[in-house]
Structure 1
Amino acid sequence: MALQVLNLRAENYKRLKAVDITPEGNVVFIGGRNAQGKTSVLDAIWAALAGGEASRATQQPIRDGQDTAVVRLDLGDLIVTRRWTKDDSGTLTVEAPDGAKHSSPQKLLDQAIGARAFDPLAFTRLPAREQLAALVATVDLPFDPDELERERKGVYDRRTEIGRDVTKLEGQLAGYTQPDPSLPEAEESAADVLAERERARSNNEMYERAVAAEKRLMEEINELEEQLREKMNNLALLQDAALQLDRPVDLAPFDERLATLEQTNARVRAQQQRAAVAAELAERKQAHAQHTLKLQQIEQRKAAALAEVEFPVPGLSFNDTGVTFNGIPFSQASAAEQLRVSVALAMAANPTLRVLRILDGSLLDSKSLELIAELAAEHDYQVWIEVVDESGSVGFVIEDGEVR
């Protein structure tokens, strides 16, 4: 069921007194001077269909000095009549051509009309975020853009946090000297070195005692040959004992190690800390790379999903910041491209009610009007355009709330 306005009647709505318009063709011009009721004609179409949304946008639908206002739209398969009174919010009836009334008129209109009277020029003036929301509402996406954006932002924020860690750790790592391969892997205990030195000193002392005893015995052997056997036995025992001990150990290296031990240990600690920072840095860099890969995968998923979406206009898409056309921001497209895209979106948003309204149509040049007429004829849409005209020769001329 495709609907267009076959006839519009409005009485006392906003600036209108009484108008009866039976449009012809795909483009309907509503002309005249300013403050005569041109906009009220286009608003009357929307007000009849939009219900509460139109009521909230229009604080005073009834013409000054009147008690009631009526708008009647003949849409072919539906006849919509909405009345406003000063005492209540008014009434709505939706009838079939045979006079049968629908029990839930506003619900029927909402289901049949969807986005209602869309103004393509209003879309071109929307901020980027609102343009994006309008586009997403028009097409059937295989993913939830908000959910995907939340996922992307979560990964991006985590990657940013990891990146700060990487920068911090790189600064810490730069503060350390390069590793010294001659240093031991772990710190050395002064107590261990002292104990080792004590064992060496004790060994030296015992060795010296053994040598002295041997010397004394040799002298006694020379002097006391009669005690040779006993002394020889003792000598043998001492020689055996001497064999069990190490040769004299130089204590200087121990003293040198003790003198530089704390400095060496400090360097060992610094080297261990550097190794820990380097390990953490490597881990953070790996995590940063992994999050970068996740961001790329999200973008790839998004690109693959967008490739499957059938947009109303070839080349139309969107990114995180807004609508794009042929890969560039929509705001950077030419005026003709913006108009073509906006009209196509408006048509896609209104598949049943094939009616568009354009306020401030005087801003359009002749080329733009030709383009709108071409698109309206191509897709069988009815476009109502408000234009300021002093000559009184353009379209339906509204003068003091009536068709002249």
Structure 2
Amino acid sequence: MTLQIVSLKAENYKRLKAVQINPEGNVVFVGGRNAQGKTSVLDAIWAALAGGEASRATQQPIREGQDSAVVRLDLGDYVVTRRWTNDDAGTLTVESADGAKYSSPQKLLDEVIGTRAFDPLAFTRLSAKDQVAALTSLVDLPFDPDELTREAKGVFDTRTEVNRDVKRLEGQLAGFPRADETIPDVEVAAADVVAEFETARQHNARIDELDLRARLAEDDQFRAEDEVGRLERELDAARTFLARAESVVEDLLKQVESAERIDTSEISERLAKVEETNAKVREQVQRRAVADELSIRKERSAQLTVKLNEIEKRKTEGLAAAEFPVGGLSFDSDGVTFNGIAFSQASAAEQLRVSVALAMAANPKLRVLRILDGSLLDSDSLKIISDLASEHSYQVWLEVVGDNGGVGFILEDGSVKEGTA
């Protein structure tokens, strides 16, 4: 079932007095000078069909000085009548072609007529965000664009935080000296080095003591030899002493020869550098910790990038599978696109064709469009609208300033000028 306006009657609505228009053709021109009622004609269509939406947007539906107003639209299968008085916000009745009335007229209009009268030029004046909202309302997408945008923003914000940590850690890592493989992994205990030094010192002291004792024993030996010559009487005792001394000397010398001295200079040097070494150890431990955290953050950033790419892939595949009202039409995070470029960058003719096609897609049953400010359209644009309306069997009500060369319905002081249309 498709509907068009067969007849429009309006009395005392806004600037209108008494108007009856029986449109013919696919383009219905409503002209006239400013403040004569031409806009009121197009508003009457919207007011009759839109219900509360139109009422909230129209502060004074009744012509000044009058007590009531009425708009009646004959849509062929339905007759829609809306009345206003000074005492109410308006009443609505909908009758079928055979005169039967509906108990829930506005619900019927909402279900049967849908989006109602749509101004295709209004789409070109919407913000990029609102254009996307208008487009997605007409397309059955396999995903929720707002939810997907929120998900992508959450991942993007998380990745931003992670990358901020990466930059911070890279700065910290750059402040450390290059890794030194000669530095131990843990700090050196100064007490251990001191103990090692003391053990080596005591060991060397024992060797020195043995060496001293050996030299003293040699002296005893020399004295004993001298005593042998002149102390014959004590020869036995001296020989015994000599033998004992020789044995001691031999033993001590063997100990001296077999003992290996420990070089304490390296230990002393290490002891002096314990704190310096430990400082490097701590620094290297911190460097490894920063490097480990940096690696973790980079991995996390890479994972989030993969997730963002997956989200974008889901969106791309969803858009590829969706059936848009116009070929080449899509959208991205910046707004609606047409043939891969921003809709705002498309030519005026392309924008007009897309906008009209979207308006038609939004009104598959009520094939009526209304265009305010139609005087802004040039002849090429008017031809595009006329061709599209004819091709798709739509009725376009178009407001123009002036008499439009005598074509269409010309409004004067709230009424249709005689001899027009």
Taking structure 1 as the reference length, what is the TM-score of the superposition? 0.94
Deviation at 1:265, TM superposition (A): 2.2
Q: Pairwise CA RMSD of aligned residues?
A: 2.1
Residues 106-134 of structure 1: CA deviation (Å, up to 9, x unaligned): 01111112211110111101111111111
Residues 163-213 of structure 1: CA deviation (Å, up to 9, x unaligned): 211211222222222222332232212111111101101111222223334
Counterpart position of 1:333: 346
Tell me whether 1:300 sits opposite 2:313 in the alignment: yes
Q: Say which of 384, 387, 398 aligns to 2:400.
A: 387
Counterpart position of 2:227: none
Inter-CA distance 386–208: structure 2 relative to 1 (3 Å threshold) = same
Q: Which structure: larger Rg?
A: 2
Matches of 2:254 and 2:296, distance apart in 1: 61
SS in 2 for 1:262: helix
1:115-130 to 2 correspondences below 5 Å: 115-130=115-130
8 Å Cα contact 2:113/2:363 also seen in 1: yes
After TM superposition, the structure 1 stretch with the greater mean CA deviation from structure 2, 231-240 or 209-218, is: 231-240
8 Å Cα contact 1:339/1:368 also seen in 2: yes
**Structure 2 gap segments, 5+ residues each:** 225-237
Counterpart position of 1:225: 239
1:5-404 to 2 correspondences below 5 Å: 5-217=5-217, 223=224, 224-227=238-241, 247-390=260-403, 393-404=406-417
Matches of 1:120 and 1:148, distance apart in 2: 28
8 Å Cα contact 1:203/1:246 also seen in 2: no
Matches of 1:391 and 1:213, distance apart in 2: 135
Matches of 1:123 and 1:211, distance apart in 2: 109
8 Å Cα contact 1:32/1:392 also seen in 2: no
8 Å Cα contact 1:346/1:356 also seen in 2: yes
Deviation at 1:230, TM superposition (A): 6.0
Matches of 1:145 and 1:62, distance apart in 2: 42
Deviation at 1:391, TM superposition (A): 6.0
Residues 225-269 of structure 1: CA deviation (Å, up to 9, x unaligned): 3156766776788689779x9522121112211222222222222
Q: Percent identity, aligned pairs only?
A: 65
Letter matched to residue 67 of structure 1:
D
**Structure 1 gap segments, 5+ residues each:** none
SS in 2 for 1:383: strand
Letter matched to residue 361 of structure 1:
G
Taking structure 2 as the reference length, what is the TM-score of the superposition? 0.90
Residues 334-360 of structure 1: CA deviation (Å, up to 9, x unaligned): 000000000111111111111110000
8 Å Cα contact 1:142/1:305 also seen in 2: yes
Letter matched to residue 316 of structure 2:
A
Matches of 1:391 and 1:326, distance apart in 2: 35
SS in 1 for 2:273: helix
Matches of 1:391 and 1:375, distance apart in 2: 20
Matches of 1:229 and 1:375, distance apart in 2: 136
